A and B are shown apart, each in its own frame.
Chain A
Amino acid sequence: MMPQRVLKVNYFAFFDTSFVFYLQWKIFSHSLQPFSRNSDCFGLFLQRFIYLFATLKTNDQNILIIMHHSSFILRILVCVTAFACFSFPSFSQDKNNIDRCTVTVADQQNAPIPGASVIIDGTTVGAYTDSQGRCYLENVPQNATLSISCLGYSDKRIGVQGQTMVSVKLETSNEYLDELVVIGYGTQRKRDLTGSVAKVKGETLTQTTTFSGASALQGRVSGVRVIQNDGRPGGEINVVIRGSNSLKGSNAPLWIINGFPGTINIVNPEDIESIEVLKDASATAIYGSRGANGVILVTTKSAKDGKIEVEYNGSVGIQSLIKKVEMCDANEYMEYLNAKAVVNGTPEVFSPEQIAANRTNTDWQDEVFKSAPITSNSISIRGGNNKIQSALSASYFDQEGIIRPSDYRRLNIGADIKYNVRDWLQVFSNIMVSRSDQNLMSSTTGSRASSVTSASLLLPPTATPYNEDGSYSNFTDQPATGMNPIAYLKEHSGKFYTDRTRTTAGITLKPLEGLTIQFSGNIAHSSSRTNNYTSRNYTESSIGSAAISLSEIRDIQSNNIITYDRNLGEKHHITLMGGMTYETDTTMGVSTGTSTGFISDVFNVFDLEAAENKGLPGSSYSNWKIISFLGRINYNYDNRFLLTASWRADGSSRFSRGHKWGYFPSMALAWRISQEDFMKSIGWISELKVRVGYGKTGSTAVAAYSSLRNLETRTTVFNKEVSVCYTTPDAYNGNLKWETTSQSDAGIDAAFFDHRLRMTADVYYKKTTDLLCDVDFPRSSGYTTGLMNIGSVQNKGFELQVDGTILDGPVKWDAGFNFSLNRSKVLSLANHKDVFRNANLDNLVLNDRLNIMREGEPMFSFYGYLEDGYDENGYIKYKDLNEDGNLNTDDKTIIGNPNPDFLLNFNTSVSWKNLTLSAFFQGVFGNDLYSMSLASLAYDYAENHNVLKDLIGNWWTKDNPDAKYPNLWTNETYKMSDRWVVDGTYLRLKNLELSYSIPVKNKNIKKAVVYLSGQNILTFTNYPLWDPDVNVKGGASSLVQGVDDNGYPSAKTYSVGCRIKF
């Protein structure tokens, strides 16, 4: 068989000199550059060109791309060598084929479109239209379908139907509308969306160096609040979309990794192609019982057709404490204690001689916090041909914490492969493996130097970490004791290892035009292990203490989806999707218990038999299953009216018999007003679409076995020996069923001035009913709670995202902002009674319930006493709100709201020549924080720990009766009051980056960018302590939100890095 021909590509028609020049520049630098002409169109063209480049190279031995130069500079030839191993598919003469087919491409106004690509479907044969909008194809099958595409126009497919002349009309389009967006069980063009879906590209996420795609999402999407519990490496990140719905269950969104539910922690942020956030119910209802909190779809960079591309990204940075809290120095501390002793009539703590003689002034924050490196390296390789495509990636992320030895290290390896076995059959597989090693350093929160973070503030500055003989101080000679943080950090290790794998495989069948059947399965496995060891040196009485716990999660899922996509006549387009999915998840745990009494530290946790006192082992098992049936219709009328309707039925093992099934419908409509004739004359409006949608989603909310009354195994002691016993659960269980959230959404997508200004706005209303709720029983019943479906909450809000290009000349300036506003309200609760978390918040200074769910109030409101100045002795007085003369719980009221008034984030980037300066600000406005930290740092007079410098000279005295702080009574007992409600507003320069795109001459290097960046380098806030971005008691299913309690603080980072593409 002979090689048939060389595909000639003629670009004469619309490449002038400058273009070729820019072209090279663009390909090699891929940076934003000033263009002499319409830049959007130009950028798009380039993208297409690169795409074409890749496509052509895979299918032919040598392709000559001839570029024409019309002026006196001679034609520039760009010769590209493709892989020799790919042979051109044979294409012999066939008498059923048309010898020569002429294709004419024009726009709606019948003006010819030059440069459009015309390809025969299922082959790689194609051509580009000339200046007359014409091209010629040879040897075309009678029944062939042609795909026509051109930059700035929508793609079109048309059957040849034996004709030798084919003319095609293309509709104008643009990048923003044609961009593909991943939705549940499919993809859609952005312009066809009917729901509220936001897309974030991978390159945006990797601007900040972070271990998690979830934390990289902070501030990037309107309506999405990302809150870290604290700043430890690998710490918990919570994502809340459009407010919290659930009291009992998780408020975390469902993460879908490449089509299957999973954890974002397995994914290296550098591998993310895009993240799509499904916000409204019409988008999430297809995920049924798990869609109530929104769905985040993560798509990783997959195998692709084209020349092999290698990409390397690396960065190294240094982190340090954002700011120090100003505590008293030794002299201030000693004088404060003596002043306090005078107030209380107790013996003085330090004599004047001792004060004079003291030479010790330890800054415990300096002892505990150190600057720490963070590095990230990732490399990926992708390429393939029309038969087989593959991708491999590997990355290593290494972050040391600013409190050593806390750290987080992760190694990721990923592989993606696709076989196009036949033109109707594709087989694919995606494998992800990640290993993370973490030193947890979980000693945080609390008061009285009971944890490392608390000790770093509260230990006496007159104390030192070490005694003179080099042993650790235990502070018994000090006025206040506590843990020795240095001893803890050096002598205690808490290692947490996790191995995760995720293997997806599937086949896609396309037996008929428009019909796609996909069967895919996913096996996810995660095993983690915690090794805790406290050495014999920790304190004088330490004898060595070791414990191991193991946990394994085994998960299997399958998706079976049929999609049928078809045009019905000229104006009707319909897509039907139906399927069935199944998931089962098993968690098994083993723990060894804590063994103590080792003769040497050499064993660490690896010889528990050597312990004198053996720990008690434990083990656990839990399994849940979910079966679902789903279906969706997308109907598009004339690209003007769009309709989506979906339905899902979920059966979950977690609910009581008879309540296992839930049904979740949705419907949405969109009208692209800009497609109407009457709008076409308004030139400055490029796109205008209105959307409305409604749907129901659910939340399983409860853990497996919640509907059963299983006995719990406990232990007691007889004869000085441990004995096993059984108890019935403290929670009384009624019949449990689904929690259901219904949501309405209305939105507008618009673009103006040729898409230079783009905006999306949405309003929504969400209501959750059958709220699963722990109803408090009187404790005299012996139960604490009963789990019941009772109550409802609502969330309503507004979101706005605006992006635009402000300058588009030699200096290019892009800017955008997003704004989110959400208001939550508890509508009804069981017996109209308030709901609290079971356990009190207790830091020994304050001990009470804080967050309240009360009918008519925002969720998680702070509840407590109002202060009323000081009494004649400088004790705090509280308001007797019901004026009954007693101060009791009836006098408590709402004292704060941890929910922000609004979130506002903005980003901007300015580029000039090869330099780009970009900044990203993230802001949370109007939320209250409850600072238990402040109570422990400035009010704990019952103990003699160090205090905030601010206290000095600011406590109550007869001469200063309106002082900021009360008198220094050791017997003052504080109530949870408004004193510790502080403004949590902050605006943070999350990232500032200056990058330089090196103009590479070497043709082996396509792109090379180096950058300097700073993260968290500037924070505007009134919060006086470490960090306002804190939520130490938070968590996706925590009822305690907005509390700071000496959590692990965030770090600021300066880093340098490079992004290179070969």
Chain B
Amino acid sequence: MKTNNIISAAIAFLVSLSAVSCGDWEILEEKPYSLAQETFLKGPDEVQGMIDGCYSQLRRSVCFNRYIPILAESLSDYCYGRGNWESSYQTGISSSAVAYARDTWAVLYRAVRYVNTVMAQIDDVDLTPTEYSELTGEARFIRAFSYSYLVKLYGGVPFFDENDTPWAQKPRSSAEDLWKYIAAEAAYAAENLPNKAKQAGRPDKTAGYALLTEANLYLKNYQAAADAARTAIGLGDHSLLEMSVADDYEKLYGANVVTTPEEVFYFKFCRQNTNTMDYYFLCSPNPINKTTGTVAIYTDYKNNNVIAGWDKNDLRYQYSLYEPKTNKLLNAKTKTGMICIKYRDREATGSTAASDVPAIRYADILLYYAEAQAKAKGAPDASCIDAVNQIHRRAYGQPTKAEWKGDYKLSDYPTVDSFMEMLLKEKVYEQCFEVGKRYFDLKRLGLLAEYAVRAGRVSDVSEVKDAAYWWPIPTNEFLYNSALDENKDQNPGY
């Protein structure tokens, strides 16, 4: 009996061994329920799914839904950051914000990398010519758009496209080269994108031309900029909304608006997938939803000349700003502070709101057109003045296309300089608290210091130091990129 025991035990043991030893250890192969990068891209839906990954990055709070709108704008003439968001014309963004800027950098580059990944593989995907051009148009628009913000925030930055390996270490390219690249990519996008995007939140042809306009403005190719803007306007796919009272602006900025003809390229948010930008604009109590807000950025109706000089009858003033009297966070800074309530979301809770971030509006294109055309021709013409007037009229509840007694007159602005002066004033009213648009304009035009003095922020242009112009290149980029040297390649002032 005992011998049998041993034999049966030994057999059982051997069986259990051989059961796992056969089959070349296939049992150790991993079979996750997820998609692998190498085998995923098969058709248009997969390509679209991966391009859409870019939006999931760019719309994050470290990028377009908080850091850029707040930090960039906090260095413009009309508003102030508070706490960690407090920027200074002497030392630039705060040390906390330096850490934020690092994440913004990473996220913008991540969107670039996603596009690079798609572009490296897209030629092997089975696509119709239309699908191919629309998808590559969208992908290359997003990449160029991401680079445009990298250049605007950090200056010349390392350049990667689908031809680079992931572990490459690259030096800074010049801002000019990057703008040329952006212009070329935007031109491709404008060519290939559809007239009307499939869904609100994606770029269309107009968006491509808008980016082309901007790139050319930075390159000082005013004629090309004017042409691109004119083409965008001429497409007729977008238009201004009409307003009659201040609250009508809610049709443009309100949290529940799905889309409008004025929307060209927005980062979209909804109740289930919210933004945090609004929370940082607001403070408690506020007239929107009372309790939300931490007032990271604010302005001042008494001490800031831009706001003090703003006509109180302007619907945009009435709509965009609010004077909280009892919030001690703000009162500890100034008793005459105002906050931005432009992106009102009455259903917001905590730090979440459903309002969109208006990266490119039709109004922006009109205003860019006015500048480009005036500079291309050496003097403003009727089309320039008309573009500004359309926006100006609606700010007083007038129809945008009908002449109005309050219109700007071409005769009052015979030169580019006088015209630009008026245009910049109109622009700050139209675009305040919008994704750093004011700050980038002032920087591009070399007026940051002068306008800081005018606004009463500083007493002399010399007080605006280098750090006010750029965000610092993140220190971890220097740590891990051997092609860069912090002592030589860091932006001045940091």
Interface residues of A (CB under 8 A from B): 341, 346-347, 349, 424, 474, 476-481, 509, 511-512, 515, 517, 519, 539-543, 545, 558, 560, 562, 580, 582, 593, 596, 613-616, 621-625, 627, 651-654, 657, 660, 704-705, 707-728, 730, 732, 776-784, 786, 833-834, 840, 842, 844, 847-848, 884, 886, 888-890, 942-944, 971, 973-975
Contact = CB atoms under 8 A, between A and B. Distances in A.
Residue of B59, B99, B259, B490 with highest tally of chain A CB at under 10 A: B99
Nearest to B36: A710
B200 A718 contact: yes
A479 B328 contact: yes
B9 interface: yes
Contacts of B94: 973
B68 to A, nearest CB: 16
9 contacts: A346-B332, A424-B2, A517-B9, A541-B290, A704-B30, A704-B32, A716-B59, A718-B201, A847-B99
Contacts of A347: 331-332, 335
B287 interface: no
Contacts of B38: 709
A710 B31 CA distance: 11
B261 to A, nearest CB: 15
A773 B181 CA distance: 36
Contacts of B168: 781
A710 B34 contact: yes
Contact of B95 (A596, A709, A726, A973): A973
Contacts of B35: 710-711, 726
Given A711-B35, A725-B49, A727-B57, A844 B291 contact: no
A888 B490 contact: yes
A386 B142 CA distance: 78
Contacts of A942: 83-84, 86
Nearest to A973: B95
B404 interface: no
Interface stretch (B105-113, B213-221, B234-242): B105-113
B29 interface: yes
A615 B16 CA distance: 47
A541 B348 contact: yes
B29 to A, nearest CB: 7
Contacts of A781: 109, 113, 160, 164, 166-168
Closest 8 CB pairs of A and B: A782-B113, A725-B52, A778-B481, A727-B53, A718-B199, A973-B95, A511-B5, A718-B201
Contacts of B271: 613
Nearest to A704: B30
Interface stretch (B123-131, B308-316, B469-477): B469-477
A652 B49 contact: no
A780 B477 contact: yes
A782 B111 CA distance: 7
Contacts of A707: 30
Interface of B: 2, 5-6, 9, 12-13, 16-17, 20, 25, 27-38, 40, 46, 49-53, 55-57, 59, 83-84, 86, 88, 94-96, 99, 102, 105-106, 109-114, 116-117, 157-158, 160, 164, 166-170, 198-202, 256, 258-259, 268-273, 284-285, 289-292, 326-329, 331-333, 335, 348-350, 354, 474-481, 484, 486-487, 490, 494
B20 A616 contact: no
B20 A582 contact: yes
Nearest to B255: A720
Contact of A627 (B28, B46, B59, B116): B28
A761 B93 CA distance: 56
A777 B167 contact: yes
A556 to B, nearest CB: 13
B272 A613 contact: yes
Contacts of A614: 272
Contacts of A842: 96, 99
A519 B8 CA distance: 13
B285 A476 contact: yes
A780 B477 CA distance: 7
B257 to A, nearest CB: 8
A517 to B, nearest CB: 5
Contacts of B285: 476
Contacts of A724: 49, 52
Contact of B27 (A562, A613, A625, A719): A625
B116 A782 contact: yes
A712 B32 CA distance: 12
Contacts of A889: 475, 478-479, 486
A652 B28 contact: yes
B291 A627 contact: no
Contacts of A840: 99
B332 A944 contact: yes
Contact of A721 (B30, B164, B270, B479): B270
Contact of A481 (B102, B284, B486): B284
Contacts of B117: 728
Nearest to A579: B13
A341 B333 CA distance: 10
A622 B32 contact: yes
Given A728-B114, A779-B474, A511 B2 contact: yes
B95 A975 contact: yes
Given A540-B291, A888-B486, 12 more contacts: A349-B328, A476-B327, A540-B290, A541-B290, A613-B271, A711-B37, A722-B273, A725-B55, A728-B53, A780-B157, A780-B477, A784-B106
Given A780-B158, A971-B86, A711 B40 contact: yes
B96 A705 contact: no
Contacts of B55: 716-717, 725
Contacts of A833: 479-480
Given A560-B16, A720-B268, A511 B9 contact: yes
Contacts of A657: 29
A958 to B, nearest CB: 23
A844 B28 contact: no
B112 to A, nearest CB: 6
B344 to A, nearest CB: 14
A538 to B, nearest CB: 10
Given A710-B36, A715-B273, A580 B9 contact: no
Contacts of B201: 716-719
Nearest to B349: A541
Contacts of B158: 778, 780
A477 B326 contact: yes
Contacts of A562: 13
Contact of B50 (A539, A709, A727, A730): A727
A512 B2 contact: yes
A12 B114 CA distance: 89
A717 B28 contact: no
B66 to A, nearest CB: 14
Given A562-B13, A780-B109, A782-B160, A476 B53 contact: no
Contacts of B50: 711, 725-728
B52 A580 contact: no
Contact of B268 (A512, A712, A717): A717
A477 B328 contact: yes
B283 to A, nearest CB: 9
Contacts of B328: 349, 476-480, 944
Contacts of A474: 284, 291
Nearest to B257: A720
Contacts of A725: 49-53, 55-56
Nearest to A709: B37
B16 A776 contact: no
Contacts of A346: 332-333
Contacts of B291: 474, 476, 539-541
A707 B96 CA distance: 35
Contacts of A709: 36-38
Contacts of B480: 776-779, 833
Contacts of A580: 16-17, 20
Contacts of B292: 541
A717 B348 contact: no
A713 B34 CA distance: 9
